[in-house]
Structure 1
Amino acid sequence: MRLAAATLAMLAAAAACTSASTTEPAAPAGVIARDVYAFDDAGAAIPGLVVEMRYFGSENFVGRPIAGYEAPICLLTREAVKSLAAVQERLNSLGLGLKVYDCYRPKRAVDDFAAWARDPKDQGRKADYYPAIDKSKLFDLGYIAERSGHSRGSTLDVTMINLRSGAEVDMGSPYDLFDPISWPASTAISNAARANRMLLQDTMIKASFRPLKEEWWHFTLNDEPYPETYFDFVVR
């Protein structure tokens, strides 16, 4: 009994340390981390959701696959998936749907971005993604950071599509363009594009997501289950 009591005390202490930690707790050996922490495949859970994980491939501002993405799937906390499903249902009633570009992002992917940002020679995609910005300013301007809300599992990058054609709706600027024109409130876009941004934003807000003022595509669940935990398990 004394041994059992001591073991329970140790487990309780470990649990307390884990809850206060800002890094991912270790998953038991042989267990898939996404299952331990209740992350779901949004593409499988939400009918009609289009998944185009940009960091799994080379069509992104770095120009190559990013560390930590071993499958083109959108992992999100179950709470975020449930709220996103409500957005999809609402947009479907308007003849529209959702396409996701990024969801859960491992910490190692954020580190990969940071290492790329510190390399002044690697600017192969500048013309497409940051044409008006000096790469050395990406940290200062907030486009690249040492931490990302995506690593907490309840943040995603998303746009809208036309259900009939499957084409992306005009949002006034492409995904991941590092430029003030990508700010949701930018007035440098057409009225139609601005209306599309506002429709996406309003629908996401009604489903308990909050927007980011610098990126029209970026949303975070208000009551995210892991507000202080930055996970690093790979996407697979």
Structure 2
Amino acid sequence: MSQMNKIITILFSSALFLLSCHQEKKNEKTTDNQHISVQQEESAATYKVQTLIAMEELADSAFVNLREVSDSFQYDMRYATANNFLGKKVYDCDNCWLRARTVRALIKANRDFIKNGYQIQFYDCFRPRAVQYKMWEVMPDGRYVANPKSGSIHNRGDAVDITLVNISTKEELKMGTDFDYFGKEAHYEYDQLADQVQENRRLLRTIMEKHGFKGIRTEWWHFSYIGEVYPISNQALCNE
């Protein structure tokens, strides 16, 4: 082999080596970016305020505004709008108040959803008893609205109405019906739905049950935290 050919061969080999190194670094960078993206989503489930220890030490029955302690959730608080079965706004603000034990469980559940590419979106959290009376006037059916005389778990701060949204697109997963649809199609066991819809409902319920929640038969969106039943509360929805 001539000296020139040797030089060309060496240069060509070096070029291939450098290209290979560049591609490996590019792949590493892509993997790192994906890892960072996951970390960012997971870190969204940490507290906004620097009171993690204080939050953990709160009494289970203490009320917490979820919006003030975590950035990891989405909200479509229907009763703070006219887009609900009452046809009018009945909340003065769209805060999400819940008992501390329920907040802790929701943050853990949401971390699991995030690993699957989704986030919890809230329709309703704590609900004042006065609103429960208004709901009962419109829908006096215990399958869908709790009788205000005995009160709902919502009135006690341990129930949520939720769905899931895709983290990337922010679109709601298809669940077969809208929130507060009063019909058999909203029942969890209704099976005349697309396979993907049924899978979405199963995913929602499976992870929620894993973290201490219980669903109900007639509403795919409703989950109550299992534990001591606290008294009905008049906790204010809006910050003064």
What TM-score, normalized by structure 1, do the two folds share? 0.71
CA distance in 2: counterparts of 1:208 and 1:142, whole angstroms: 22
* Aligned 8 A contact 1:76 1:104 in 2: yes
Counterpart in 2 of 1:56? 80
Pick the structure with more helix per residue: 2
Counterpart of 2:102 (choices 67, 73, 80) is: 80
Counterpart in 2 of 1:114? 136
Q: Secondary structure at the match of 1:55?
A: helix
Q: Which has the higher contact order (CA 8 A, sep 6+)?
A: 1
Counterpart in 1 of 2:233? 231
Counterpart in 1 of 2:7? none
CA distance in 1: counterparts of 2:207 and 2:110, whole angstroms: 9
CA distance in 2: counterparts of 1:140 and 1:53, whole angstroms: 22
Q: Does 1:208 align with 2:212?
A: yes
CA distance in 1: counterparts of 2:62 and 2:100, whole angstroms: 6
Q: Does 1:163 align with 2:167?
A: yes
Tell me which amino acid in the other structure corresponds to 1:51: Y
CA distance in 2: counterparts of 1:216 and 1:161, whole angstroms: 15
Q: Does 1:181 align with 2:211?
A: no
CA distance in 2: counterparts of 1:182 and 1:140, whole angstroms: 15
* Aligned 8 A contact 2:144 2:219 in 1: no
Q: Does 1:38 align with 2:40?
A: no
* Aligned 8 A contact 1:51 1:73 in 2: no
Tell me which amino acid in the other structure corresponds to 1:209: F
Structure 1: gaps (5+ residues): 1-34, 118-137
Tell me which amino acid in the other structure corresponds to 1:91: F
CA distance in 2: counterparts of 1:160 and 1:59, whole angstroms: 19
Identical aligned pairs, as a percentage? 26
Q: Does 1:95 align with 2:127?
A: no
CA distance in 2: counterparts of 1:99 and 1:43, whole angstroms: 12
Tell me which amino acid in the other structure corresponds to 2:170: G
Counterpart of 1:220 (choices 215, 221, 224) is: 224
* Aligned 8 A contact 1:43 1:51 in 2: no
